[in-house]
Chains A and B, each alone.
Chain A
């Protein structure tokens, strides 16, 4: 906090220098990052390079390219009374920001918000997840070598340490994780009136209509579901389709899985593992729901679970009660699109809704009649790779958003500023007491907003 008060983090040159250092961190430590995520999650090098490095660099470049523009005071339209004044929105940093990251994309999920927080001129404390142990260690050891130690710190530890950390006053808290913990974070933040952004999760439904290219659908869904062994907050969590479509999809999914991971996914270098025993056991229990149509093999020692598809799943089954967060794709059969939409709407609002159809109208209908953090038609996951789209949840899946400019805006206080002149005091006269009807008439005329349709002169 002392460093924050010194004002060190505010000048643009400082922010740019720190951001460029982050870029160097990603470049220099690429190998270490790939290795750490491989040990923590069995992450395939391609996946790690894409999600932990490439996407982070995108954010970095987008921010560096636009920072001076974003930092500028934003001049706003003025009303008649204020024509001679200067009115603008200033982007002030909040102060000391806390970023709490989860284990599934351990670099990406602290780095991307960190970019926004630094860009906005704040000091930051990063709390990586203790569950992804190797990455935690890497970050704690390596990051301080790249960033200004006075203004940016890494704190490690488990639940106890995090609870103690939260007793301190922060000026903003950015949390990625599960809804129950999100509640705890927000309650702790309320004690200090600290604003928060919570990136949580939910069960992301994936509706597949009867009119579609089954092969392509199967590939895109399989890719999204089994990426990072299913441990992705925006993975398609479950599939909704008719029984006829299910019969067509199963062989297509089988082929896609085999194309991607070969006949024995366990031997594929491109398929990940569950992060720890606790999660493994949790996901394993979900296999009891419905019937295993594809996959289902597990190896506890390796925390390996084959890419699995479950059928005959009932809405009341365990696999439909919690976010799967594993390589299992349950298929719930519905009669038609309306039923699918009702099903989606009867549950908590998810982070993402997916809809597949060759018919544009079907995709539009699902989009318009549901509510979710984000939406992707005819593909999975891809909407988060566009930095111009905001990423965030709604309801139980979270509050606030970030990515690209939205990160910068999230971590800045938008301060409304009006600078007036000392002269022209007589123009102010109508607003002062003693009040009178004539004066009031002037006030009304000069400050009211008329509707275009009211204007009769033109």
Chain B
């Protein structure tokens, strides 16, 4: 399929032309994206509804569109400061030079989206990649086909067609796409495919950001406001019918509070969705038959404390709670990604920590407790992509926090400034003067102990340099530089460089 080669080739040629680099161009594209989201709001919501039964209105809007608009506003606001070169601390030897880190685009970036939040998971990376000055190939998930089709239609209407092409298709198309060379790949999806993406990237030495998943544990301490905790957990677990990568996957709690937890969640569910969940306009559906069957099979042999009703025709699974779940059961093996909440009992926070650490590192970790020390302990003795204490999901919404996984839940991070940095190359730049050659003399052969000592003086950082004080250091530097010239260079050259030295000292002070 040379179509992929053509699409990527065109994007690369467009990038090489240099037009994606100027800040004005990037802002212009971002503004166009903003217009697109605002003008086509209805169409976007309709596509989301068709794919996931996401209600036309508040929840789809707040979960997908609001996030995108927020990210766009933040990025456009901060781009000039993010993209500015960053001056760095210099040492004695480089004190007259220019030393800074430049932020440069990587080139052609590939963004592969997922089906559960099909709009935001394609848009947020796209925003960061455009902001960093790259060309971007967008590959939305084929499972959320309506959103994929819409994105493929809309993006060319608002953005530069060559720089930001949309590629649609399933596994064969994606595999073909991955044989092309990119300068960064951001993939959102599952662990198994994450490995395939990284292996394909390895062939071209392409850096990757993988936003994967896992079983995000949720520990509820005996000492906490159960009603509040369960409300928040219910919200995070059952939104989007449980199909959220950072949903609390399973609960860990003491057996004595298990039934109270169930009661609280039941009550909250009634409050959220009414007596008949199926007819609630706010409750979504499983994305397709395959996932429906997968989630349903997790219920086999489990003690269903609440829920469990399913309807294959509409891919409906009621909000379900399982109790006294065995750690070896199927529902505790893979990421659930559905409205099924198992409760595994543990007798202490130590057991909970051990349980969590005995498994792959998750994307998110949740702890509920009134005891601040306990929360601190759980965080410091475990590892996860991110953490929210006393709530769920919310760390995702703070764009100043990096959002990403660790271990099997992923690598790299994005959101806000972290997106910009992910999609940029930080280039170290040192600009020296062609004059002042005599200070270089100490590094040239022939070698000598004297030269080693001078090198040490100029380069070696010592402990507690602060004690010496910058002034004295500068003075020493001037003296040393003069002495080097006298011992290694000619007097004439020494004279000509002297004014520069004084300026340097003045500049330092």
A residues near B, CB below 8 A?
Answer: 5, 7, 44-47, 49-50, 54-55, 57-58, 61-62, 64-65, 76-79, 81-82, 87, 89-90, 92, 94-95, 171, 179, 182-183, 186-187, 189-191, 193, 195, 198, 200, 212-213, 215-217, 219-220, 223, 259-262, 268-271, 345, 356-358, 360, 363, 367, 371-379, 382-392, 394-396, 398-401, 413-423, 425, 428, 431-437, 439-440, 443-444, 447-452
Q: A219-B440, A390-B101 are in contact. Are A420 and B390 (CB under 8 A)?
A: yes
Contact A90/B446 with A65-B464, A418-B401 known, Cβ cut-off 8 Å: no
**Sorted from nearest, which 10 A-B pairs have the closest CB atoms?**
A46-B447, A416-B401, A186-B202, A270-B445, A190-B198, A435-B58, A76-B400, A377-B431, A383-B430, A388-B88
**B406's contact among A383, A415, A443, A447, by CB below 8 Å, is which?**
A415
Partner of A447, one of B381, B397, B401, B437: B397
- Given A45-B447, A76-B398, A193-B194, are A389 and B99 also a contact pair (CB < 8 Å)? yes
Given known pairs A415-B385, A420-B394, the reply for A434 and B274 (CB within 8 Å) is: yes
Pair A400/B207 contact, Cβ less than 8 Å: yes
Scoring A223, A375, A420, A439 by chain B CB atoms within 10 A of each residue's CB, the highest score goes to: A420
List 13 other contacts, CB 8 Å, given A61-B460, A61-B461, A87-B398: A50-B459, A81-B397, A200-B205, A260-B445, A260-B446, A373-B427, A376-B432, A379-B432, A416-B403, A421-B390, A428-B232, A440-B57, A450-B73
Of the residues B73, B98, B385, B434, contact of A216 by C-beta under 8 Å: B434
Residue of A nearest to B391 (CB): A420
Are A435 and B460 touching (Cβ within 8 A)?
no
Using a CB-CB cutoff of 8 Å, which residues 293-311 of chain B contact chain A? none
Inside 8 A of B428's CB, which chain A residues have their CB?
Answer: 373-375, 383-384, 386, 389-391
Chain A residues with Cβ under 8 A from B397's Cβ?
79, 81, 447
21 contacts across the A-B interface (CB closer than 8 A): A5-B357, A50-B459, A55-B459, A58-B459, A61-B463, A65-B465, A78-B400, A183-B202, A190-B198, A357-B434, A363-B431, A372-B427, A386-B99, A415-B386, A419-B388, A419-B389, A420-B389, A421-B390, A422-B390, A447-B397, A448-B70
Compute how far the CA of A55 lies from the CA of B458 in the bound complex, rounded to whole angstroms. 11
Q: Which of B460-498 contact A (CB under 8 A)?
A: 460-465
Is A382's CB under 8 angstroms from B94's CB?
A: yes
A219–B98 Cα distance when bound, in Å, is 21
- Most-contacted residue by chain A among B93, B280, B385, B459 (CB, 10 A): B459
Q: State A61–B460 Cα separation when bound (angstroms).
A: 9
User: Do residues B429 and A374 form an inter-chain contact, with CB atoms below 8 A?
Assistant: yes
- On chain B, the residues within 8 Å of A90 by CB distance are 379, 387
Q: Which of B183, B397, B407 has most A Cβ within 10 Å?
A: B407
Q: Does the CB pair B411–A193 fall under 8 Å?
A: yes
| Interface residue? B13 (CB, 8 A) | no
A437 engages B459 (CB within 8 Å): no
Binding site for A on B (CB under 8 A): 16, 55, 57-59, 61-62, 66, 69-71, 73-74, 76-77, 88-91, 93-94, 98-99, 101-102, 104, 106-107, 183, 191, 194-195, 198-199, 201-203, 205-207, 210, 212, 224-225, 228-229, 231-232, 235, 271-274, 280-283, 357, 368, 370, 375, 379, 381, 383-391, 394-395, 397-404, 406-408, 410-413, 425-435, 437, 440, 443-448, 451-452, 455-456, 459-465
Distance in angstroms between the alpha carbons of A425 and B203 in the assembled complex: 50
- From B106, B398, B426, B430, A401 is in contact (CB under 8 Å) with B426
**A449 touching B464 by the CB < 8 A rule?**
no
Task: Evaluate contact between B430 and A379: CB separation under 8 angstroms.
Answer: yes
Chain A neighbourhood of B455, CB < 8 A: 46, 49-50, 54
Residues of chain A contacted by B387 (CB below 8 angstroms): 90, 415-419
- What is the distance, in angstroms, from A203's C-beta to the closest C-beta of chain B? 16
Choose among A64, A415, A419 the residue that contacts B375 (Cβ–Cβ < 8 A): A419
Q: Is the CB of B431 within 8 A of A271?
A: no
Residue of B nearest to A55 (CB): B459
Please name all residues of chain A whose beta carbon is closer than 8 Å to the beta carbon of B70 when the two chains form the complex: 447-449
List A contacts of B435 (CB < 8 A): 213, 216
Q: Tell which of A200, A371, A422 touches B224, judged by Cβ atoms closer than 8 Å.
A: A422
Q: How far is the CA of A395 from the CA of B191 in the complex (A)?
A: 25
Known contacts A270-B446, A414-B402; A443 and B69 CB within 8 A of each other: no
B425 proximity list for chain A (CB < 8 A)? 371, 394
Given the known inter-chain contacts A7-B381, A54-B456, A417-B389, please indicate yes or no for A65 contacting B57, CB distance below 8 A: no
Taking a contact as CB atoms closer than 8 A, the residue among B69, B99, B235, B413 that contacts A388 in the complex is B99
Question: Beyond A379-B430, A419-B390, A420-B390, is A186–B195 a contact (Cβ under 8 Å)?
Answer: no
Identify the closest chain B residue to A270 (Cβ). B445
**B443 nearest in chain A by CB position:** A223
Closest B residue by C-beta to A261: B445
- Neighbour of B93 across the interface among A377, A385, A389, A448, CB < 8 A: A385
How many Å from the CB of B396 to the closest CB on chain A?
Answer: 9
Q: Which residues of A contact B437 (CB under 8 A)?
A: 213, 215-216, 219
Measured CA separation A394–B102 after assembly (Å)? 13
Q: Of all chain B residues, which has the CB nearest A79?
A: B398
Cβ-defined contact, A422 with B228, below 8 A: yes
Q: Known contacts A186-B202, A388-B90; decide if A54 and B460 are in contact (CB<8 Å).
A: yes
Which of A223, A434, A449 is within 8 Å of B74, CB to CB?
Answer: A449
Interfacial chain A residues near B430, Cβ < 8 Å: 374-377, 379, 382-383, 386, 389
Contact pick for A375, options B386, B401, B427, B443, CB 8 Å: B427
Task: Give the shortest distance, in Å, between A304 (CB) and chain B (any CB).
Answer: 16
When distances are taken between beta carbons in the complex, the residues of chain A under 8 Å from B381 are: 7
Q: Which of A270, A440, A449, A450 has the most CB atoms of chain B within a 10 A radius of its CB?
A: A449
User: Closest Cβ of chain A: how far from B436's Cβ, in Å?
Assistant: 9
Chain B residues lying within 8 Å of A45, measured Cβ to Cβ, are: 447
Asked if residues B398 and A444 are in contact (CB atoms below 8 Å), the reply is: no
Chain A minimum-CB-distance residue to B199: A190
- Minimal Cβ-Cβ distance residue in B for A48: B447
Q: Which A-chain residue is minimally distant from B225 (CB atoms)?
A: A422
Query: What chain A residues lie within 8 Å of B400 (beta carbons)?
Result: 76-78, 87
Taking A219-B444, A386-B99, A432-B231 as contacts, is the C-beta distance between A443 and B195 under 8 angstroms?
no
- Please indicate the chain B residues that have their CB under 8 angstroms from the CB of A413 in the complex: 383, 406
Chain B residues contacting A171 (CB-CB under 8 Å) are 407
A387 to B199, CA, bound (A): 32
Distance between Cα atoms of A387 and B435 in the complex (Å)? 24
Q: Please tell me which one of the listed residues B206, B406, B462 contacts residue A94 in the complex, with CB atoms under 8 A apart.
A: B406
Give the residues in chain B near A435, CB-CB below 8 Å.
55, 57-59, 282
A367 to B452, CA, bound (A): 32
The answer to whether A433 and B59 have CB atoms under 8 Å apart is yes
Question: Using Cβ atoms and an 8 Å threshold, which residues of chain A touch B282?
Answer: 433-435
Contact A444 B62 (CB under 8 A): yes
Chain A's nearest CB lies how many Å from the CB of B425?
A: 5
In the assembly, what is the distance between CA of A421 and CA of B88, in Å? 39
Residues of A within 8 A of B460 (CB): 54, 57-58, 61
A355 to chain B, nearest CB (A): 9
